[in-house]
Amino acid sequence: MLTIEHFINGQAFDDQGRYQDVFNPATGQTVAKVALGSQDTVEKAMEAAKAAFPAWRATPPLKRAQIMFRFKQLLEQNKDKICQLLTTEHGKVTDDAMGELTRGIENVEYACGAPELLKGEHSRNVGPGIDSWSEMQPLGVVAGITPFNFPAMVPLWMYPMAIVCGNTFVLKPSERDPSAPLFIGKLLKEAGLPDGVFNVVNGDKTAVDALLHSPTVEAISFVGSTPIAEYIYATGTAHGKRVQALGGAKNHAVVMPDADIDNAVNALMGAAYGSCGERCMAISVAVCVGNNVADDVVAKLSAQVKTLRIGSGMVAGQEMGPLITEAQLNRVSGLVDNGVEEGANLVIDGRDIAVAGHEQGFFLGGCLFDHVQADMTIYQTEIFGPVLCVVRVESLQQAMDMINKHEYGNGTCIFTRDGEAARYFSDHIQVGMVGVNVPLPVPSAYHSFGGWKRSLFGDLSAYGPDAVRFYTRRKTISQRWPSSGVREGSQFAFPS
């Protein structure tokens, strides 16, 4: 069976320790085993990254960016292979895998602008004969810990920018679908990146804890569930590291009475059931303003949820693949059971779906709940599956109060034709990323991505301009070259 190893100092490495099965979720079959890195393996990666840092720090940003340009070309050339790995281990349909990879490549394109982004700031004559400038220096060895749901894109949010800023990097991808991030990482070597600048350690909590406790790691970027994000932030900062930890979500879409309901329903279908609901920006709650809107939305959604094309992501034309693991399938089905027990109206029940030829796959059909209340478990919890909850309210303000009270604040959107309502909503909603008639308002690569409340721990968001700040340390230098022969007396007052 295929063994997915680590990649340290430009070489494949297997520590012959613990392993975990990797599944094809569409068939339920084991397709590989992944090495679970030990503390020693993490230290080996740390040593490689630390040794590579001085020369990489001294490499001009332009040369670093040129490697990123080649990396982008290699990603384009290997798109089909990468998408096949994504679909095999994650289960998402091929079109969706292509979308994920394209958004990842956009982050590489942004990183190619490093020479411009790292120019710093300069002021001439801040005092008599004194010039002053700020420059962004790299931190050293930085680490990234990533979730299963975007195995290509989320790592690409992190290391292209970290590396062009002059840092060296250790990636700990999800152990559930590790092939794509490993394959992509190796392309960096082909693009000309010196050994040791980028390393991959596969693994679980053992490897993560070794990174959190290592004195070599200067900063950690984490993306995953909120309990782990909180743990990473608390432990990493207690060990003196800079940490950004992006967590889970419960994203609401408000449907106003004046909205184009057909367009809103089409948008909700993709946002709720795309990638089987396993997106941190997935819409999992539709908040309908008024009973007429709710009745119309539920009727139109029901017709479409019933006819979702569900199957192996490898088969062209499918709209939704399986969940990532059997455990996740059981968890999501259990939450649907719970919604029924708590009194929500399960309009469409996807629990007994059978996909011909894929009976062992981790499939769940689309589920649609109506009359969901704020105190129900299905409303409070991030389900991370193909389950959409419809909530009925009487006003925009009631919808907004509900969203603002939720513990998460990642994404949200409003469907309306009313500019005043949209502006009021965008201005006052306590959520980090807002869409107006845009169901998945994932910022483009030259903005930054981050939620509010318990969806992000730390001060800086992921990628874009915030990533330049996260992966660099500012130094401000004031310089004076006195004219020869000019004597200066001591000055005891604070210089002004």
Q: Hey, which residues are catalytic here? A: 280
x/- track of binding to ligand NAD for residues 328-367 (CB under 6 A): ----------------------------------------
Of the candidate residues 100, 319, 382, 466, the single one contacting ligand NAD (CB under 6 A): 382
Please, which residue, 247 or 350, has the CB nearer to ligand NAD? 247
Considering the complex, state which of residue 48 and residue 323 has its C-beta at the smaller distance from ligand NAD. 323
For residue 285, the number of C-alpha atoms closer than 13 Å in the C-beta half-sphere is 32
Binder among 248, 313, 441, 458 for ligand NAD (CB under 6 A): 248
Cβ(340)–Cβ(311) under 8 Å?
no
Work out whether 410 is an interface residue with ligand NAD (CB under 6 A).
yes
Q: Strand 141-145 to strand 3-4: parallel, antiparallel, or no bridges (unpaired)?
A: unpaired
Instruction: Provide the greatest CA pair distance for the chain.
Output: 91
For residues 249-281, one letter each, b for 16 or more C-beta atoms within 10 angstroms of the residue's C-beta and e for the rest, the string is bbbbbbbbeebebeebbebbbebbbbbbbbbbb
Distance CA 252, CA 449 (A): 17
Q: In what order do the strands lie in the sheet with 3-4?
A: 3-4, 29-36, 18-24
Number of residues that bind ligand NAD (CB under 6 A): 27
Does 177 sit near ligand NAD (CB under 6 A)? Answer: no
**Strand pairing of 121-127 and 130-138?**
antiparallel
- By the 10 Å C-beta count (0-12 exposed, 13-18 middle, 19+ buried), 484 is classed as exposed
Q: What residues between 422 and 451 interact with ligand NAD by CB under 6 A?
A: 451
Which of 224, 311, 361, 385 is the binder for ligand NAD (CB under 6 A)? 224
DSSP state, residue 363: -
Footprint (CB under 6 A) of ligand NAD, residues 277-316: 280
In this chain, which of 246, 265, 276, 286 binds ligand NAD, going by CB under 6 A? 246
Least distance (Å) from ligand NAD to the CB of residue 276?
A: 12
Cα–Cα distance, 408 to 184 (Å, whole number): 31
Asked if 249 is part of the footprint of ligand NAD (rule: CB under 6 A), the reply reads yes
Q: How far is the CB of 331 from ligand NAD (least distance, A)?
A: 10
Rg of the chain on CA atoms, in Å: 25
Task: Using CB under 6 A, pick the residue from 32, 455, 464, 472 that binds ligand NAD.
Answer: 455
Interface contacts to ligand NAD, rule CB under 6 A: 145-150, 154, 172, 174-175, 204-205, 208, 223-225, 228, 246-249, 280, 382, 384, 410, 451, 455
